[in-house]
Amino acid sequence: MNIPLNKLEGDQFIEIFNLQEADDSIFENYQRYDFYQVVWFTKVTGDNTYFIDFREYKIEDNQIVIVFPGQIDMLDVQGKEGYLFAIHNENFFNINQHLQSDYLNGYSSNVFISVDNQTKEILHKLMELILQEYNDSNRITLMESYMEAFLFHVSSLFESNEKIKNKSDEAVAELMRYIDTYFISERETDFYADKLGVSNRKLNELSIKGTGKTIKQHLQERLILEIKKEIRLKTKSLKEIAFDLGFSEPAYFTRFFKQQTGMTPSEFRDK
């Protein structure tokens, strides 16, 4: 099956859609994305089936789910009200650098969070601020701050509900924790397979089933995000960043970054 990869257009870092105004073509066929999606279903009528990575979920009023980059989804948008946030990987990463949420890290993929009445009121107030800024200046600092507040409340619902946490795939959660801890020093699947006591093949199967990505893809993406973060901090030279992140030669560091992003580290820094 040839499934297109959707990307955010231009320099957009966060895009917002009203589900009730969304074009059917956005969801009617299987789609794949290279960015994060946060979907808040405020009202659901009609067909309440949502397919993510070909797995069937039943959605309800006032539920929120995160669809991670690389995942595939399909939804009948008719009868659905709410919001969809399309968030660039780097912006999502910046937000979670502050929140340090297991849920946002993807340790528990595609868990649907039910929003209680108190949190719903808070999220609606935040939505007023988010939409006002989005339709006005759409300044990255403010949008990230508002989205951080929004996702803080969503993550808190996950962390406080043991029943929801226990539904997640613990093997995938453990894998993602290990990748976050060891991605600089350990870049071979063997290491993570040994940690989890499974074969390389089995671990990749678990990773693809749970997140839509191989171990190698997770390691590469995590490394790229770390490189971009270090470049933005402007506290180290590119050579220092390369050696600190385990690259034996600056030339290999440059080649790796360009293969993954289409630009050199110097071009990214200047941009």
What value does the mean pLDDT take over residues 178-191?
90
Do 39 and 158 sit in the same domain of this protein?
yes
Q: Angle 215-221-223 (CA atoms, 0-180°, nearest 5)?
A: 100
Residue 9 and residue 20: Cα distance in Å, rounded? 21
**In terms of DSSP bridges, do strands 5-6 and 36-44 run parallel, antiparallel, or are they unpaired?**
unpaired
Do 160 and 196 sit in the same domain of this protein?
no
- How far are the Cα atoms of 61, 154, 159, 168, 213 from residue 113, in angstroms, in the given order? 11, 7, 10, 12, 23
Sheet containing 63-67: order of strands: 14-18, 80-87, 36-44, 63-67, 113-114
Do 138 and 207 sit in the same domain of this protein?
no
Of 118, 140, 167, the position where a domain reaches its end is: 167
Measured in whole angstroms, the distance separating CA 210 from the mean position of its chain's CA atoms is 13
Do 88 and 187 sit in the same domain of this protein?
no
Of 137, 167, 197, the position where a domain reaches its end is: 167
Do 181 and 257 sit in the same domain of this protein?
yes
| Least confident interval from 64-73, 159-168, 205-214 | 159-168
Do 255 and 152 sit in the same domain of this protein?
no
For 61-108, the three-class secondary structure string (H helix, E strand, C coil) is CCEEEEECCCCEEEECCCCEEEEEEEECHHHHHHHHHHHCCHHHHCCC
What value does the mean pLDDT of the chain take? 85
The per-residue pLDDT for range 84-105, each reduced to its tens digit, is: 999 988 889 889 888 888 788 7
Of all residues in the chain, the percent with pLDDT exceeding 70 is: 89
**Letter for the amino acid at 216?**
K
Write phi, then psi, for 203 (nearest 5 degrees).
-65, -40
The model's pTM: 0.69
Do 58 and 180 sit in the same domain of this protein?
no
Split into its structural domains, the chain has a count of 2
Do 144 and 243 sit in the same domain of this protein?
no
Question: What pLDDT does 68 receive?
Answer: 84
Do 13 and 88 sit in the same domain of this protein?
yes
Give the domain range for residue 131.
5-167
Residue 78 and residue 96: Cα distance in Å, rounded? 32
Q: Is the pLDDT of residue 1 over 50?
A: no
Of 167, 199, 223, the position where a domain reaches its end is: 167
Q: Is the pLDDT of residue 132 over 90?
A: yes
Write phi, then psi, for 32 (nearest 5 degrees).
-130, 145
What value does the mean pLDDT take over residues 132-148?
92
The per-residue pLDDT for range 52-68, each reduced to its tens digit, is: 877 888 999 999 999 88
Question: What pLDDT does 138 receive?
Answer: 87
Which pLDDT band holds residue 43 (cuts at 50, 70, 90)? very high
